[in-house]
Structure 1
């Protein structure tokens, strides 16, 4: 029996992503704070459709907005690890990465009563230590890499990579990788950034992005018996009015195409069961 799954995931970064880029003045911080408004709108929409989703929240955001995070839990949604700060692990020295990872786990434990099952790195750039930390702290899956578009796989660690030599594959772990894609992330499509050395134009037409995302799901339906797609949203991005209408249209279109909506934790459990069968 064909089974095609849509995972709605939300990186609840609020101001932390701006702060990690050195954008500490009031306007970018307020831009991130809008994410709390957006989160409320998203939770109302998901409740109206009976959909559970996965939320990845930096520790600094949990500590800043505990009531907003508690509302996510009250809606039946998964809370995943998204760092303590929003600094990418690949940019952190080993001791600081380990300290921040553990600190974020404790924030999630205080919020939910248990440690996280899943990890997603800030800005999707992990170090060669990150997967070991995730395993050490009891995570069962990672969602930071892009080795497939519609099928999970077991993550590797210890690859040997050089620009002038063949790739040497490392060890396959028991950590399920639930792959993501920049093309299925709202941020590069919609967010405008002007930094000292970078211009990110964003501000795309929402209907054009919607058309692409529905087409990706349709392609998966045509080419796989069992498949999943992870859509990634940021409440301060998708929470704007015309984009909320786009999200509503996406959910309804996918439902009309037979999509099952699962959390990433549910995906990793189903993938493990299929792998063991």
Structure 2
């Protein structure tokens, strides 16, 4: 029987992403802090529709906004690892990355009483050491890569990629990749950013973005019997009024199409079981 899974992942960054870019003045901090208010709106919406979700929270955000994070846990949602800070592991030394991973795990254990099953890299970039660290610390899955659109797969390690040579691929691991996409992320569509280096216009019409997001589910439904589509949302982005209406519209439209909503952890476990039974041959 066909089964089409939808995972809503909320990157609860607040101001940590701006701080990682050196933006620590009051205005960007307040822009990120709107996400604390918006998280309450989102929790109410998820409760009304009985939709479980996965929340990826940097350790510094857990330690700053404990009450809101406790509400996320009390509502039954998954809490995944999203770094200690929002600095990409690719920009950290191996020692800094290890320390941040452990500090983030410790924060999640204090919050939830259990170790996180999933990891999502800040800024969706990992280092040459990340995969080994995640396996060492017992993660089931990670969700920072884009090698498929609606089928999980097993992460490789040890790839050798040079600009002037054919690729040499490493070995697959037991770590499950729950793929994501910038096209299914609210930030590039909606957020206006101005720095010394560039301007990111954002501010797109939410109804048009909603059409794209629904169409990706339609394509999955038309082309495979089993799949997982992950949407990535940031409370301070999606939590604005007209975008909340779009999020509600997305949930309602996908529910009418027969979508099964679950956490990324639950979807990863289902994928692992189907692979073990030989029902799925993942790519890449």
How many Å separate the matches in 2 of 1:136 and 1:64? 28
> Residue in 2 aligned with 1:223?
223
- Aligned-residue offset at 1:198: 1.2
- Determine helix, strand or coil for the equivalent of 1:164: coil
> Residue in 2 aligned with 1:92?
92
> Residue in 2 aligned with 1:43?
43
- Aligned-residue offset at 1:94: 1.1
Q: Deviations over 1:106-132 (max 9, x none)?
A: 011111111110000000000011111
Written as runs of structure 1 = structure 2, the 5 A alignment for 1:253-268 is 253-268=253-268
Written as runs of structure 1 = structure 2, the 5 A alignment for 1:195-214 is 195-214=195-214
Which deviates more from structure 2 when the two are superposed, residues 127-136 or residues 28-37?
127-136
How many Å separate the matches in 1 of 2:195 and 2:33? 19
> Residue in 1 aligned with 2:194?
194
TM normalised by structure 2 equals 0.97
- Determine helix, strand or coil for the equivalent of 1:176: strand
Runs of 4+ in 1 over 4 A off after TM superposition: none
> Residue in 2 aligned with 1:66?
66
Written as runs of structure 1 = structure 2, the 5 A alignment for 1:78-89 is 78-89=78-89
Q: Deviations over 1:206-260 (max 9, x none)?
A: 0000000000000110000101100000000000000000000000000000100
Q: Deviations over 1:136-172 (max 9, x none)?
A: 1111000000000000001001101100111111011
> Residue in 2 aligned with 1:124?
124
Q: Does 1:21 align with 2:24?
A: no
Q: Which runs of 5+ in 1 are unaligned?
A: none
Q: Which runs of 5+ in 2 are unaligned?
A: 278-284
How many Å separate the matches in 2 of 1:58 and 1:103? 10
> Residue in 2 aligned with 1:233?
233
- Aligned-residue offset at 1:133: 1.1
Aligned residues: 277
> Residue in 1 aligned with 2:102?
102
How many Å separate the matches in 1 of 2:135 and 2:57? 19
Written as runs of structure 1 = structure 2, the 5 A alignment for 1:139-178 is 139-178=139-178
How many Å separate the matches in 2 of 1:31 and 1:115? 30
Q: Deviations over 1:158-214 (max 9, x none)?
A: 101100111111011000000000000000000000000011100000000000000
How many Å separate the matches in 1 of 2:273 and 2:121? 25
How many Å separate the matches in 2 of 1:156 and 1:168? 11
How many Å separate the matches in 1 of 2:269 and 2:85? 28
- Determine helix, strand or coil for the equivalent of 1:180: coil
How many Å separate the matches in 2 of 1:97 and 1:158? 18
How many Å separate the matches in 2 of 1:159 and 1:127? 12
How many Å separate the matches in 1 of 2:119 and 2:133? 10
How many Å separate the matches in 2 of 1:276 and 1:138? 19
How many Å separate the matches in 1 of 2:78 and 2:189? 25
> Residue in 1 aligned with 2:281?
none
